[in-house]
């Protein structure tokens, strides 16, 4: 019996070797049978016949961690992703017969059944004992004790879908895809190119309206085969490190929200950015010289097009030396920055990690003498070519290097630079020109040699191990530096590369996309994919970085982006002008109105940002996130939700003046512009002339809006209007000073607004001085509400039959109840 089992295992393993991504090698082994079981306070440790050890532990009642040490020795805890290792509640261990054992995370938590033989295999179950996800017994956990690779395979129901994985230029469900995790500078990526700049080895699985999640915490080059090789299983693994992953069972509800909240609790939530970072941002490679920056800034103010931020791309520097100014193009930076300040426009500068090897430059010398640079395999300073020429690179996996780099921001902060944009942090380098070997997107020469040496925060290792966290750790250095230098301001950091947990430090954008309709459509699955990977503050270059959009594409893209958290136009060098006014007066009017819509919706959007910091919920959401029971949402790639209450259905096709919109089940949806009501579960053809973004509010929701402003400095002082999309439901309004940290100690207020037939009930909590409620608007009413009473006092409502809106101005700033008659749907 034992012998035949072994042979079977051997045969299966051979099969595994020939088809799985672990390379055929004499040193590949499967885990084998458990020979010893050691109880631990949070779970068990098994000693397997292969010599490997496996730990299965609960880090929360509905979060199970599985950790395999191929050589039998667990390394010290060393995750860059895990924000705060959670206290592990004691798991109850039950023997389930000789061949398996069961762990329990408590009444509402998950269970784990561990098969002990013939091969150790892990099955995660829900509290009722239903199987959530199970190791594929035909593909036991395996590792290559020679090369260091690890992998695991899970059984896959054919209809299971997978979302997340960070930044992927793929349809939002990544079932039957093969994906790699290796941060890569991928200019002008074609849809489907993989990997890209950011890699987050986390996904949410969805089947039959129920979810779970898996986070594979491994910073090496890793891969996910989500049923591509065989739709009956999926597998993931890495070229080194431990097999170390978390299963999020999603609590009793097994909802996407619960899964993502648990992931966010583990890897951290986005800290609230300053309000100005939610404003419109204008960029190009590069606005230069300084006179051009002035012209752009004044261009917005003169035309009354709102803007908060203007970017300075690499040409502001002196020979691409970071934290310097070009003596010719930016001869008087202080004057320029003062002028921008007078216009209430925040300057953000690009900062690359490469530091020019220049004996005459103090920053380079200082870094060298402190020994903060990445080392080559021989122990010397690693040098590689990027924009400035030959560069050295701070080793952001070393605390001293992070602190040093963080201190360099002092000069620019003092001069008035408001935020920082980290580029080329995959890290990306230039391959030496070689006519016989053109450089491809995924060319190994485009980053550090794999044997380069990093400090690894006390665990020295190669670039192969730390490549994927380089950009995230640079963002950490930036964020921490800004926190130290300006403790009373919220940092704004934007990064191109990232790993799980990057949301703690930075916003992210999707790199060098292309000015095409196809890329416009791709922004939805890309950005919602990042959102459900725990990164709420996301955006794509509006208009498409590479190439020159025409007026229609640019206008539609701006509309599509109006509710994406990060809202920035950016364009490559040499492309046509791309300001909102660059496409003639008609488009200027349309684009102004689009940006004004953003500013009107800021109170709602900012409330979603505050919720993201509090709970870890995404801001931009795929439809299934809030409507997981509705199977028609599962593959919907051409619409998204902004927060729970706004449905955005951008026009994604050239020449289209209408589009079909699907309304997710569970609510009615009211057209923002016409007040027309659509039943959840239905579809409709919606008119979308060039100047209109199809936008819908959930019936019952209350959307706080602000008057149009030219920048967020005005918004923060402006009274709020509550738009009640008539129905039964609620909304909330978060308010604070827009910057600083008083909001964490009583300086913020949240107004909860309950809506029912004929009444709004408002309840305010918190503190600080914030603008009051100036007006109520009813959206989606057939007739005017009458006998409107605000805390008992009568007021008039003005009705507009075309937009099916009514509006009543309030005199008191903080009403507690608004009642009315009529105003029917
Ligand atoms: O090698 O700084 O993705 O946004 O404009 C190109 C110049 C370097 C790539 C970034 C892009 C930026 C550009 N950078």
Catalytic residue among 352, 423, 596, 613: 423
Active site residue 512: yes
> Using omega within 30 degrees of 0 as the cis cutoff, is the peptide bond preceding 286 cis?
yes
pLDDT, tens digit (0-9, with 9 covering 90-100), for 640-649: 999 999 999 9
Return the pLDDT at 1: 27
Query: Which residues, at least 6 apart from 341, have a Cβ–Cβ distance to it below 8 Å?
Result: 416
Ramachandran area for residue 700 (φ above 0: left; ψ -120 to 50: alpha; else beta)? left
In sequence order, the 6+-apart residues with CB closer than 8 A to the CB of 5 are 117, 118
Concatenate the DSSP letters of all residues of 73-105 into one string: -PPPP--SS-SSPPPPPPPEEEE-STTEEEEE-
Ligand 1 neighbour 423 (Cβ under 6 A): yes
Does residue 18 have a pLDDT over 50?
Answer: no
Q: Is 167 a catalytic residue?
A: no
* pLDDT value of residue 89: 65
Which of 288, 423, 508 best tests ligand 1's pocket when mutated (most atoms within 8 Å of CB)?
A: 423
User: Which pLDDT score, from 0 to 100, does residue 16 have?
Assistant: 34
pLDDT (tens digit per residue) in 171-186:
999 999 999 999 999 9
| Residue 94 binned pLDDT confidence (cut-offs 50, 70, 90) | confident
Name the residue of 352, 424, 498, 572 whose CB sits within 8 Å of the most ligand 1 atoms, as the mutation to test its pocket: 424
The pLDDT confidence band at residue 438, using thresholds 50, 70 and 90, is: confident
Measured in Å, residue 503 CA sits from the centre of ligand 1 at: 21
pLDDT tens profile 380-407: 999 999 999 999 999 999 999 999 999 9
145-149, 264-268, 524-528, range with the lowest pLDDT: 145-149
- The residue-averaged pLDDT of 397-422 equals 98
| Nearest atom of ligand 1 to the alpha carbon of 573 | 5
425 lines ligand 1 (CB under 6 A): no
Which of the four pLDDT bands, split at 50, 70 and 90, describes residue 5? very low
Residue recorded with tokens 């608004």: 818
* Mean pLDDT over the full length of the chain: 94
pLDDT at 93: 74
Q: Could you tell me if the CB of 496 is within 6 A of ligand 1?
A: yes
- Range list of H helices, 628-775: 712-715
Q: How open is the CA angle 74-77-80, to the nearest 5 degrees?
A: 130
Provide the pLDDT for residue 2: 31
d(CA 609, ligand 1 centre) in Å: 27
By the 8 A CB rule, do 612 and 619 touch? yes
Q: Check: CB of residue 505 under 8 Å from CB of residue 495.
A: yes
Q: Give the model's pLDDT for residue 824.
A: 74
Burial class (CB in 10 A: 0-12, 13-18, 19+), 794: exposed
Instruction: Let me know if 423 is a catalytic residue.
Output: yes
pTM of the entire predicted model? 0.96
Ligand 1 in reach of 511 Cβ (< 6 A): yes
Q: Which of 426, 617, 639, 736 is the catalytic position?
A: 426
Ligand 1 geometric centre to CA of 540 (Å): 13
CA of 423 relative to ligand 1 center, distance in Å: 7
Query: Is residue 86's pLDDT more than 80?
Result: no
Which is more confidently placed, 5 or 391? 391
**Chain mean position to CA 824:** 40
User: Is 313 near ligand 1, meaning CB less than 6 Å away?
Assistant: yes
Residue 8 has pLDDT above 60, yes or no: no
Q: CA 397, CA 456: separation in Å to the nearest integer?
A: 5
Distance 381 CA to ligand 1 centre (A): 25
Each residue of 492-535: pLDDT tens digit? 999 999 999 999 999 999 999 999 999 999 999 999 999 999 99
Q: Mind listing the pLDDT tens digit for each residue in 667-682?
A: 999 999 999 999 999 9
Query: What does the block give as tokens for 750?
Result: 């949240």
Query: Can you tell me which atom of ligand 1 is nearest the CA of 314?
Result: 2
What number does the ligand 1 atom closest to the CA of 187 have?
3
Percent of residues in the chain assigned helix, strand, coil, to nearest 5: 25, 30, 45
């Amino acid at each position: 019996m034992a012998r035949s089992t072994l042979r079977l295992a051997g045969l299966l393993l051979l099969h595994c070797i020939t088809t799985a991504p672990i390379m055929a090698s004499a040193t590949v082994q499967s885990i084998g049978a458990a020979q010893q079981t050691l109880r631990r306070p949070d779970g068990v440790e098994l000693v397997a016949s292969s010599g490997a050890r496996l730990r299965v532990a609960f880090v929360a009642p509905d979060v199970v961690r599985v950790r395999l040490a191929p050589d039998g020795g667990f390394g010290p805890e060393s995750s860059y992703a895990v924000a705060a290792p959670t206290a592990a509640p004691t798991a109850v261990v039950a023997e389930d017969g000789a061949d398996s054992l069961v762990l329990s995370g408590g009444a509402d938590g998950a269970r784990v059944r561990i098969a002990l033989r013939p091969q150790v295999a892990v099955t995660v179950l829900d509290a009722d004992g239903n199987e959530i996800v199970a190791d594929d017994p035909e593909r036991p956990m395996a590792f290559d004790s020679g090369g260091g690779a690890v992998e695991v395979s899970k059984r896959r129901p054919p209809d299971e879908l997978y979302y997340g994985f960070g930044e992927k230029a793929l349809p939002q469900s990544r079932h039957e895809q093969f994906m790699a995790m290796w941060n890569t500078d991928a200019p002008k990526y074609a849809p489907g190119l993989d990997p890209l700049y950011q890699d987050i080895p986390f996904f949410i699985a969805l089947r039959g309206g129920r979810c779970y999640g898996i986070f594979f915490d491994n910073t090496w080059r890793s891969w996910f085969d989500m049923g591509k090789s065989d739709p009956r299983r999926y597998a993931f693994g890495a070229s080194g490190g431990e097999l170390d992953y978390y299963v999020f069972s999603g609590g009793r509800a097994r909802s996407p929200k619960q899964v993502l909240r648990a992931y966010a609790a583990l890897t951290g939530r986005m800290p609230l950015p300053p309000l100005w970072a939610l404003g419109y941002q204008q960029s190009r490679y590069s606005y230069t010289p300084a006179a051009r920056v002035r012209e752009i800034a004044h261009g917005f103010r003169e035309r009354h097009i709102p803007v908060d931020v203007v970017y300075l791309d690499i040409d502001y520097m002196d020979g691409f030396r970071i934290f310097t100014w070009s003596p010719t193009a930016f001869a008087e930076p202080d004057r320029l920055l003062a002028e921008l300040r007078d216009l209430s426009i925040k300057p953000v500068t690009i900062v690359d990690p490469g530091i020019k090897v220049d004996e005459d430059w103090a920053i380079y010398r200082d870094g060298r003498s402190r020994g903060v640079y990445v080392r080559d395999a021989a122990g010397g300073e690693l040098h590689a070519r990027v924009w400035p020429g030959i560069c050295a690179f701070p080793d952001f996996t070393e605390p001293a290097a992070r602190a040093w780099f963080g201190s360099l921001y002092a000069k620019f902060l003092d001069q008035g630079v408001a935020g920082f944009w980290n580029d080329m942090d995959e890290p990306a380098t230039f391959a030496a020109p070689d006519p016989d070997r053109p450089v491809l997107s995924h060319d190994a020469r485009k980053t550090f040699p794999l044997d380069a040496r990093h400090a690894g925060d006390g665990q020295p290792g190669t670039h192969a191990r730390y490549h994927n966290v380089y950009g995230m750790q640079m963002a950490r250095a930036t964020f921490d530096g800004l926190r130290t230098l300006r403790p009373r301001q919220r940092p704004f950091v934007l990064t191109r590369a990232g790993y799980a947990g990057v949301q703690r430090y930075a916003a992210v954008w999707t790199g060098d996309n292309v000015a095409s309709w196809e890329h416009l459509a791709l922004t939805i699955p890309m950005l919602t994919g990042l959102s459900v990977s725990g990164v709420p503050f996301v955006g794509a270059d509006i208009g498409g970085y590479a190439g020159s959009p025409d007026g229609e594409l640019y206008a539609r893209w701006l509309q599509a982006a109006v509710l994406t958290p990060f809202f920035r136009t950016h364009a490559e060098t040499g492309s046509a002008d791309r300001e909102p006014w660059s496409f003639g007066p008609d488009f200027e009017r349309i684009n102004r109105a689009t940006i004004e819509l953003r500013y009107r919706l800021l109170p709602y959007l900012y409330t979603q940002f505050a919720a993201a910091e509090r709970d870890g919920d995404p801001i931009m959401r795929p439809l299934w996130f809030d409507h997981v029971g509705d199977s028609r949402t599962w593959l919907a790639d051409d619409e998204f939700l902004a927060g729970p209450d706004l449905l955005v259905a951008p026009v994604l096709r050239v020449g289209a003046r209408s589009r079909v919109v699907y309304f997710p089940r569970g609510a009615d949806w009211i057209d923002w512009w016409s007040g027309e009501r659509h039943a959840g579960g239905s579809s409709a053809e919606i008119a979308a002339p060039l100047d209109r973004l199809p936008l819908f509010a959930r019936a019952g929701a209350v959307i706080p809006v602000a008057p149009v402003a030219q920048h967020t400095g005005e918004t923060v002082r402006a009274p709020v209007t509550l738009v009640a999309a008539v129905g039964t439901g609620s909304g909330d309004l978060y308010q604070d000073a827009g910057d600083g940290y008083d909001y964490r100690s009583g300086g913020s207020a949240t107004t909860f607004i309950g809506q029912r037939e004929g009444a709004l009930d408002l309840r305010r909590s918190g503190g600080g001085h914030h603008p009051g409620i100036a007006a109520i608007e009813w959206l989606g009413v057939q007739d005017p509400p009458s006998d409107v009473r605000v805390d008992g006092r009568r007021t008039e409502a003005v009705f507009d039959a075309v937009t099916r809106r009514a509006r009543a101005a309030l005199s008191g700033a903080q009403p507690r109840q608004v009642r009315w008659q009529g105003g029917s749907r």
